[in-house]
Amino acid sequence: SAPDRLALRADLLDFDADPGWAVPDPATGLVPGVRWRPDHWLLVEDGRIAGVEPAAAFTPDAAVWSVEDRRGRLLMPGFIDTHVHSPQLDVIASYGTELLDWLETYTFPAEMRHADPAVAVAGAELFLDALLAHGTTSAVVFPTVHVSSTEALLAGAHHRGMRLITGKVLMDRHAPEGLRDDVPGAERDSRALIRRWHGTGRLAYAMTVRFAPTSTPEQLAMAGRLMMEVPGLYMQTHVAENRAEVAWVAELFPEARSYLDVYHRAGLLGERAVLAHGIWLDDADRALLADTGAQIAHSPSSNLFLGSGLIGWPELEAAGARVSLASDVGGGTSLSMLRTLADAYKVQALRGVRLTAWKALHGATLGAAEALGLAHEIGALEVGRTADLALWDWAAGPVATHRDARARQLHERVFAWMTLGDERNLAATWIAGRALFRRAPIR
Ligand code: GUN
Ligand code: ZN
């Protein structure tokens, strides 16, 4: 159970604004938007952040506070993974295919097994505990087409008190038997899940269109109707990930101006729409994202692993579109947002763009929270926010330790941490002030 009052001493890092593409100050490593509060106490009361005090000026009374002195470690808001597939832990790191073959060869057969409630529950539990063991406290998640897997994920997240957004996957064509729904059944199941779970605890429901090829126009229209009808629903899908996929969508929807326009015509784009990938978009698409407020969940690990392409991240933002960071496991090869951000740097490097650690980390914390309309609740170490926290070692292993000792300013240090770090750096994860993950002590 949660201690009523928790005092946690560490180096505090978060953001109070988008650091953008600014180059770090050579001497300090800082840019505007970065909030660096080394050696501070973070105070948590009843699951919320209640105060932040410099360690030099404050000593918590152990009679009042449950005290955790973790000085020398890094405390950040828990990461937000804006696009990830819970059942795909079964096929993460599968060899040798691009998107459409990968779906048929590995993903669809694996997802089919989650029709079995026992498989679905075990899969959801494994997935949620794995998120916490990677320092991720919130996520926008694809389960499978089955109610069993959706229900298991929602119930598991609720039990853990996690801020999770998910919904039953909609797919009524171009998928094998056992992995398809139909419009009336999908509508009935979605409505029942919404009634039971949307707004329950910290959960929100997302109309979950797998991607345009696996939904009939009638199913897209049904999803659009529910978006209009139910306040606060999210929408998640994939868009413009792979060139063969884009060509297929153009064949299937000849009336649409573009892949993104298929969703727009169905009324699916809005402030709460989360579209994975968005690599193969044009200027009109970028303007449409900006006009509707829909966001791109950039998944660099997946984009590299499936050979999908290199996203124009600054171009999206220059057009006014919002971009957050996502693992896209099992197309992505790690649930670690540090690994994801390190891959994001490499993707931009291949395009001649320099991504700072600040911009990258912002997109996995406050930036994602803002894009999801949840910045009042998560994404920053700010009084009043829910205490969803991750505590990190600056280095794990001799090479990272060696490198960390040589950092001359803060950006250099944080960039090396982001580039060399992963879940082995994680010491603990809190959800609403409750420690739900602690690394086993090394004996
Ligand atoms: N497009 C449609 N389904 C999927 C999926 O499961 N993963 C990825 N990366 N792209 C998709
Ligand atoms: Zn995906």
pLDDT tens sequence for the chain (443 residues): 556 899 999 999 999 999 999 999 999 999 999 999 999 999 999 999 999 999 999 999 999 999 999 999 999 999 999 999 999 999 999 999 999 999 999 999 999 999 999 999 999 999 999 999 999 999 999 999 999 999 999 999 999 999 999 999 999 999 999 999 999 999 999 999 999 999 999 999 999 999 999 999 999 999 999 999 999 999 999 999 999 999 999 999 999 999 999 999 999 999 999 999 999 999 999 999 999 999 999 999 999 999 999 999 999 999 999 999 999 999 999 999 999 999 999 999 999 999 999 999 999 999 999 999 999 999 999 999 999 999 999 999 999 999 999 999 999 999 999 999 999 999 999 999 999 999 987 65
Check if 365 has its Cβ closer than 6 Å to any atom of ligand 1. Answer: no
Nearest ligand, measured from the Cα of 108: 1
- Specify the pLDDT at position 443: 54
Which numbered atom of ligand 1 lies nearest the CA of 211? 2
Distance, CA of 133 to CA of 282 (rounded, Å):
38
| Rg (alpha carbons) of the chain, rounded to whole number | 21
Residue ending a domain, choose from 307, 335, 363:
335
Check if 81 has its Cβ closer than 6 Å to any atom of ligand 1. Answer: no
Q: Which one-letter amino acid corresponds to residue 231? A: P
Check if 238 has its Cβ closer than 6 Å to any atom of ligand 1. Answer: yes
| Same domain membership, residue 84 and residue 69 | no
| Same domain membership, residue 184 and residue 330 | yes
| Same domain membership, residue 323 and residue 246 | yes
Q: Whose CA is nearest to atom 8 of ligand 1?
A: 331
- Specify the pLDDT at position 442: 60
Query: Does residue 367 fall inside a structural domain?
Result: no
| Same domain membership, residue 25 and residue 153 | no
- Specify the pLDDT at position 4: 87
Distance, CA of 62 to CA of 25 (rounded, Å):
40
Which numbered atom of ligand 1 lies nearest the CA of 306? 9
| Same domain membership, residue 106 and residue 94 | yes
Q: How far is the CA of 238 from the centre of ligand 1 (A)?
A: 7
Q: What is the ipTM of this complex?
A: 0.99
Residue ending a domain, choose from 335, 368, 388:
335
Q: How far is the CA of 85 from the centre of ligand 2 (A)?
A: 6
Q: How far is the CA of 331 from the centre of ligand 2 (A)?
A: 7
Check if 302 has its Cβ closer than 6 Å to any atom of ligand 1. Answer: yes
- Specify the pLDDT at position 82: 99
Query: Does residue 143 fall inside a structural domain?
Result: yes
Residues 169, 173, 175, 179, Cα dihedral to 10°: 50
Check if 174 has its Cβ closer than 6 Å to any atom of ligand 1. Answer: no
Q: How far is the CA of 332 from the centre of ligand 2 (A)?
A: 8
Q: How far is the CA of 145 from the centre of ligand 1 (A)?
A: 13
Q: How far is the CA of 245 from the centre of ligand 1 (A)?
A: 10
Residue ending a domain, choose from 335, 357, 390:
335
| Same domain membership, residue 70 and residue 83 | no
Bond before 352 cis per omega within 30 degrees: no
Among 107, 166, 242, 274, which is best to mutate for testing ligand 1, by the most ligand atoms less than 8 A from CB?
Answer: 107
Among 174, 241, 252, 259, which is best to mutate for testing ligand 1, by the most ligand atoms less than 8 A from CB?
Answer: 241
Q: How far is the CA of 328 from the centre of ligand 2 (A)?
A: 5
Structure tokens at 280: 């193969």
- Specify the pLDDT at position 440: 86
| Same domain membership, residue 222 and residue 111 | yes
Q: What is the CATH number of the domain that holds 58?
A: 2.30.40.10
Query: Does residue 283 fall inside a structural domain?
Result: yes
| Same domain membership, residue 87 and residue 29 | no
Structural domains counted in the chain:
2
| Same domain membership, residue 157 and residue 279 | yes
Check if 264 has its Cβ closer than 6 Å to any atom of ligand 1. Answer: no
Query: Does residue 365 fall inside a structural domain?
Result: no
Q: What is the CATH number of the domain that holds 142?
A: 3.20.20.140
What residue numbers bound the domain in which 314 lies?
79-335
| Same domain membership, residue 385 and residue 404 | yes
Which numbered atom of ligand 1 lies nearest the CA of 213? 2
Query: Does residue 361 fall inside a structural domain?
Result: no
Q: How far is the CA of 103 from the centre of ligand 1 (A)?
A: 7
Q: Which one-letter amino acid corresponds to residue 15? A: F
| Same domain membership, residue 193 and residue 67 | no
Structure tokens at 1: 């159970």
Order of strands, edge to edge, in the sheet holding 34-45? Answer: 48-54, 34-45, 5-15, 66-77, 389-392, 426-431, 434-438
Q: How far is the CA of 102 from the centre of ligand 1 (A)?
A: 9
Q: How far is the CA of 163 from the centre of ligand 2 (A)?
A: 19
Chain mean position to CA 187? 26
Check if 111 has its Cβ closer than 6 Å to any atom of ligand 1. Answer: no
Q: Whose CA is nearest to atom 7 of ligand 1?
A: 331
Which contiguous run of DSSP H or E holds residue 376? none
Query: Does residue 298 fall inside a structural domain?
Result: yes
Query: Does residue 329 fall inside a structural domain?
Result: yes
**Is 79:365 a contact under the CB 8 Å cutoff?**
yes
| Same domain membership, residue 132 and residue 65 | no
Query: Does residue 198 fall inside a structural domain?
Result: yes
Nearest ligand, measured from the Cα of 214: 1
Distance, CA of 276 to CA of 227 (rounded, Å):
18
